[in-house]
């Protein structure tokens, strides 16, 4: 008998169908990946298993767990099931943990509630579990509140709480999507090591994660299961079109397809940039320290780093959106004022920004026509309303949207369409520099590729210089000529695309590359190359900022900050770069 058997599951909300028809089963001890784009119904399926769907959902079909039907089971039975036999780990541990209760107390409550073990032993059992999930200094951290832990540590605590009662099935719903790539690898390793004979249902949009971690995989599209099979076989010979499209769209690090860089005149050059914030308690937080960055006509430069690396701060300071403490910004040969108000209309026109969240960056109360037309209102006030509308229509068509979209509101657009509108707004002034701040991070694979192609076309047509801020190395590989890697506000490595991916010089760059999950079961990447997490920017480590996590750190790394040195055209900040290469 299968541990979990789902047969003909359907979930509807009124007239809209969330899950049309999904059937699959999971055996004991198996690890199964459930893959699909956003809105495909994968999370809804997980919630249905746990009986956590809202009352407005109408559910049909059958879900059997260890032979017992779960649909229609009474709430007491479901409670008992959730407590002891099926557990879930959600995407965002900050929302899943109670912010007012210490980690230890939250975990002990699980044991006490269900009479697991003797009451006197709960504290020891909790600490033992926290040690197993790799929470450092567990006997002290047991008294920490969720906000006192880093994202990765919170997710470890979540996993500890899920496994505490020794469930038969662990459901992990995008458990690493909110985490940095080096931490993601650690958490995925942990899930694999710790589950022992617990079955795992790993829900993700990332084929790379499934390729390296799951024995079997299921592919869903629009609420239907379109393909299932052993992971290796599905990747080798996908049968369904959607699976083929997903695999094709999945990010890889191997091929770049970016023509060689042709360095021309610098359009924008930032030198010696320092950005500092002041915390509420008055402490100075150095976000960017002494970083240079330049971009020339027709060139794409990617700025890469995990959260807290200062990549966004650097570029926002260059745009004048946050104050720059020291350093110079030169645009087309002119030094620019530090604050936005002090800059001329022409320079403001020449530098535009596209944001991560496509709908959040569009005013929900304005129609597409006025959103895209507003920059013209400021910079070309002489245009008549008719001419303006004409220009807006032409711009929208360039970004692949027809005139039908002119009178729509942002909430009537899909994520990809909204991002096209945001790009149209940025490009309508014909800027020289376009900054994309995680501009494709919120989009599904196929849409992501379309947006990247759109940007490349705009660049080929007008010689646009693009600065691409991202944490996603596969995107970097696909779009950029040159790459700047940052860590804790400092330059780690600056190299062109081929040499960075072909021959990474800095241990941190190598760790990043190793940690990226790749959709290839034989060589899946996603390996843990460094331990620990990014330290707080409030107290950056002495010497080389990366030394506490670096496998090659020596005495000199702890004492002295490495200067950026030129190695065959790559700038590298590492004392041991030449030896290690």
Partner 1 sequence: MNRGMKVSGGILLGIIAVAFIGPLLSPHDYLQTDFGKLLQSPAVSDFRLFGTDDLGRDLFVRCMLGVQVTILVAIVASIVSLVIGVAYGAISGYLGGRVDAVMMRFVDTLYALPFIFFVILLMVAFERNFLLIFVAIGAINWLDMARIVRGQTLSLREREFVEAARLTGVSTARIVFRHIAPNLFGVVIVYVTLTIPQAILVESFLSFLGLGIQEPQTSLGALVDAGVNQMEGASWMLLIPAALLAAILLCFNFFGDAMRDAFDARGEK
Residues 290 and 561: beta-carbon distance below 8 Å = no
Query: Which CB atom, from 17 or from 340, has the smaller least distance to partner 1?
Result: 340
Q: Tell me the CA distances in angstroms from 447 to 218, 440, 545, one per residue in order.
A: 21, 8, 37
Alpha-carbon torsion angle 361, 366, 372, 377, nearest 10: -120
Scan for tokens 């960075």, then name that residue.
500
Residues 483 and 500: beta-carbon distance below 8 Å = yes
Query: Which CB atom, from 95 or from 363, has the smaller least distance to partner 1?
Result: 363
Distance CA 346, CA 351 (A): 9
- Least CB distance to partner 1 at residue 470 (A): 17
- Least CB distance to partner 1 at residue 202 (A): 28
Query: Which CB atom, from 414 or from 565, has the smaller least distance to partner 1?
Result: 414
- Least CB distance to partner 1 at residue 412 (A): 12
Query: Which CB atom, from 426 or from 516, has the smaller least distance to partner 1?
Result: 426
- Least CB distance to partner 1 at residue 34 (A): 25
Q: Is 465 helix (H, G, I), strand (E, B) or coil?
A: strand
Distance CA 234, CA 144 (A): 43
- Least CB distance to partner 1 at residue 181 (A): 24
Q: Tell me the CA distances in angstroms from 568 to 501, 508, 561, one per residue in order.
A: 14, 18, 21
- Least CB distance to partner 1 at residue 66 (A): 35
Distance CA 467, CA 301 (A): 5
- Least CB distance to partner 1 at residue 361 (A): 4
Beta strand pairing call for 300-304 and 284-296:
unpaired
- Least CB distance to partner 1 at residue 21 (A): 25
- Least CB distance to partner 1 at residue 349 (A): 7
> For the CA atoms of the chain, what is the radius of gyration?
25
Tell me how many degrees the CA angle 21-26-30 measures, rounded to the nearest 5.
145
Query: Which CB atom, from 379 or from 552, has the smaller least distance to partner 1?
Result: 379
Query: Which CB atom, from 211 or from 315, has the smaller least distance to partner 1?
Result: 315
- Least CB distance to partner 1 at residue 44 (A): 16
Query: Which CB atom, from 62 or from 462, has the smaller least distance to partner 1?
Result: 462
Query: Which CB atom, from 419 or from 496, has the smaller least distance to partner 1?
Result: 419
Scan for tokens 């929470």, then name that residue.
135
Q: How far apart are the first and last CA of the chain?
A: 54
Q: Is 258 helix (H, G, I), strand (E, B) or coil?
A: coil
Query: Which CB atom, from 169 or from 443, has the smaller least distance to partner 1?
Result: 443
- Least CB distance to partner 1 at residue 255 (A): 32
Query: Which CB atom, from 4 or from 469, has the smaller least distance to partner 1?
Result: 469
- Least CB distance to partner 1 at residue 378 (A): 5
What residues are paired with 96 via a beta bridge?
none
Which letter, b or e, does each residue of 28-66 get, where b requires 16 or more Cβ atoms within 10 Å of its Cβ? eebbbbbbbbeebbbbbbbbbbbbebeeebebebebbbb
Beta strand pairing call for 465-470 and 490-496:
unpaired
Question: Which residues bind to partner 1, rule: CB under 8 A?
Answer: 319-321, 340, 345, 348-349, 351-353, 355, 357, 360-366, 371, 374-375, 377-379, 422, 425-426, 429
Query: Which CB atom, from 428 or from 534, has the smaller least distance to partner 1?
Result: 428
Query: Which CB atom, from 320 or from 415, has the smaller least distance to partner 1?
Result: 320
Query: Which CB atom, from 413 or from 571, has the smaller least distance to partner 1?
Result: 413
Q: Tell me the CA distances in angstroms from 346 to 99, 334, 352, 378, 379, one per residue in order.
A: 48, 12, 12, 11, 9
Q: Tell me the CA distances in angstroms from 129 to 62, 196, 237, one per residue in order.
A: 34, 14, 41
Distance CA 242, CA 226 (A): 8
DSSP state string for 2-45:
-SEEEEEEEEEETTEEEEEEEEEEE-TT-EEEEE--TTSSHHHH
Strands (E), 400-489: 433-437, 465-470, 482-487
- Least CB distance to partner 1 at residue 382 (A): 16
Q: Which are the contacts of 364, defined by CB distance < 8 A and separation ≥ 6? A: 409, 410, 411
- Least CB distance to partner 1 at residue 410 (A): 9
Query: Which CB atom, from 389 or from 505, has the smaller least distance to partner 1?
Result: 389
Tell me how many degrees the CA angle 109-95-84 measures, rounded to the nearest 5.
40
- Least CB distance to partner 1 at residue 414 (A): 15
Query: Which CB atom, from 283 or from 363, has the smaller least distance to partner 1?
Result: 363
Q: Which two tokens stand for residue 122?
A: 């709960």
């Amino acid at each position: 008998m299968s541990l979990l058997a789902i047969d003909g599951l359907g979930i509807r909300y009124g007239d809209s169908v969330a899950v049309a028809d999904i059937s699959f089963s999971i055996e004991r001890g198996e690890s199964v990946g459930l893959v699909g784009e956003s809105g495909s119904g994968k999370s809804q399926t997980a919630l249905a298993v746990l009986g956590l769907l809202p009352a407005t959902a109408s559910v049909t079909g059958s879900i059997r767990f260890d032979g017992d039907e779960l649909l229609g089971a009474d709430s007491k039975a479901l409670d008992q099931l959730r407590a002891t036999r099926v557990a879930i780990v959600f995407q965002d541990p900050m929302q899943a943990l109670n912010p007012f209760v210490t980690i230890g107390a939250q975990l002990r409550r699980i044991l006490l509630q269900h009479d697991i073990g003797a009451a006197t032993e709960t504290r020891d059992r909790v600490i033992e579990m926290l040690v197993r999930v790799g929470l450092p200094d567990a006997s002290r951290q047991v008294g920490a509140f969720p906000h006192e832990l880093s994202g990765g540590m919170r997710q470890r605590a979540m996993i500890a709480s899920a496994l505490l009662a020794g469930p038969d099935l662990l459901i992990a719903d995008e458990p690493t999507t909110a985490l940095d790539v080096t931490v993601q690898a650690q958490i995925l390793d942990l899930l694999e090591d710790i589950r022992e004979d617990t079955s795992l249902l790993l829900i993700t949009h990332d084929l790379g994660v499934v390729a390296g971690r799951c024995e079997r995989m299921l592919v869903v599209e629009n609420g239907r299961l379109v393909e299932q099979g052993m992971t290796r076989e599905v990747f080798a010979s996908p049968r369904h079109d959607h699976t083929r499209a997903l695999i094709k769209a999945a990010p890889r690090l191997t091929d770049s397809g970016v023509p060689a860089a042709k360095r021309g005149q610098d359009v924008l050059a930032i030198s010696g940039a320092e950005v500092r914030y002041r915390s509420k308690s008055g402490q100075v937080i150095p976000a960017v320290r002494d970083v240079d960055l330049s971009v020339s006509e027709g060139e794409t430069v990617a700025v890469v780093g995990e959260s807290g690396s200062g990549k966004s701060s650097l570029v926002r300071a260059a745009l004048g959106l946050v104050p720059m403490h020291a350093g110079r910004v030169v645009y087309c040969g002119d030094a620019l004022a530090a604050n936005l108000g002090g800059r001329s209309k022409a320079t403001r026109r020449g530098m535009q920004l596209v944001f991560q969240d496509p709908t959040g960056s569009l005013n929900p109360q304005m129609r597409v026509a006025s959103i895209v037309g507003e920059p013209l209102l400021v910079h070309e006030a002489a245009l008549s309303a008719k001419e303006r509308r004409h220009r807006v229509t032409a711009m929208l068509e360039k970004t692949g949207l027809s005139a039908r979209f002119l009178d729509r509101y942002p909430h009537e657009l899909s994520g990809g369409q909204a991002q096209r509108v945001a790009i149209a707004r940025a490009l309508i002034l014909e800027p020289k520099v376009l900054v994309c701040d995680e501009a494709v991070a919120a989009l599904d694979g196929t849409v992501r590729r379309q947006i990247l192609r759109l940007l490349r076309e705009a660049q080929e047509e007008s010689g646009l210089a693009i600065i691409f801020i991202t944490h996603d190395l596969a995107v970097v590989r696909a779009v950029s000529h040159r790459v700047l890697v940052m860590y804790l506000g400092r330059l780690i490595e600056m190299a062109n695309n081929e040499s960075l991916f072909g021959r990474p010089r800095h241990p941190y760059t190598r760790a990043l590359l190793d940690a990226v999950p790749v959709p290839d079961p034989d060589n899946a990447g996603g390996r843990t190359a460094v331990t620990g997490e990014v330290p707080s920017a409030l107290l950056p480590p002495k010497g080389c900022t990366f030394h506490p996590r670096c496998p090659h750190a020596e005495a000199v790394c702890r004492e002295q900050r490495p200067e950026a040195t030129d190695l065959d055209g790559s700038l590298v900040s590492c004392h041991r770069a030449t030896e290690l290469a």
